[in-house]
Structure 1
Amino acid sequence: MKAAGILALIVCLVASTESKVYTRCKLAKIFSRAGLDNYAGFSLGNWVCMAYYESGYNTTAQTVLDDGSIDYGIFQINSFTWCRYAKLQEKNHCHVACSALITDDLTDAIICAKKIVKETQGMNYWQGWKKHCEGKDLSEWKKGCEVS
Structure 2
Amino acid sequence: MKVLLFLGICFLAAVAVPSTEGRRMERCEMARMFKKAGFDNLVGRKVPDWVCLVQHESSYNTRAVNVNSNKSRDYGLFQINSKYWCDDGKTQGSKNACRTKCNKFLDDNIDDDIRCAKKIAQEAKGLTPWVGWNKHCKGKDLSQYVRGCF
TM class by shorter chain equals 0.7 to 0.9
TM-score by length of 2: 0.83
Alignment correspondent of 2:75: 72
Deviation per CA, 1:19-57: give whole Å up to 9, x if none: 000010011111111111111110000000000000000
Q: Does 1:42 align with 2:54?
A: no
Alignment correspondent of 1:11: none
Return closer, same or farther for 1:84/1:130 CA change in 2, 3 Å cut-off. same
Compute the RMSD of aligned alpha carbons.
Answer: 1.6
Aligned partners of 1:115 and 1:76: how far apart in 2? 14
2:55 is aligned, of 52, 69, 80, to 52
Number of corresponding residues? 133
1:93 is aligned, of 94, 97, 103, to 97
TM-score by length of 1: 0.84
Farther off after superposition, 85-94 or 49-58:
85-94
Q: Secondary structure at the match of 1:136?
A: coil
Alignment correspondent of 1:25: 28
1:83 is aligned, of 74, 82, 86, to 86
Structure 2: tracts of 5 or more residues without a match: 1-16
Farther off after superposition, 36-45 or 82-91:
82-91
Alignment correspondent of 2:5: none
Q: Secondary structure at the match of 1:128?
A: helix
User: How much identity, in percent, do the aligned residues show?
Assistant: 47
Contact 2:57–2:132 (CA under 8 A) maintained in structure 1 = yes
**Which of the pair has more CA radius of gyration?**
2
- Report the residue type matching 1:32 in the other structure: K
Contact 2:52–2:137 (CA under 8 A) maintained in structure 1 = yes
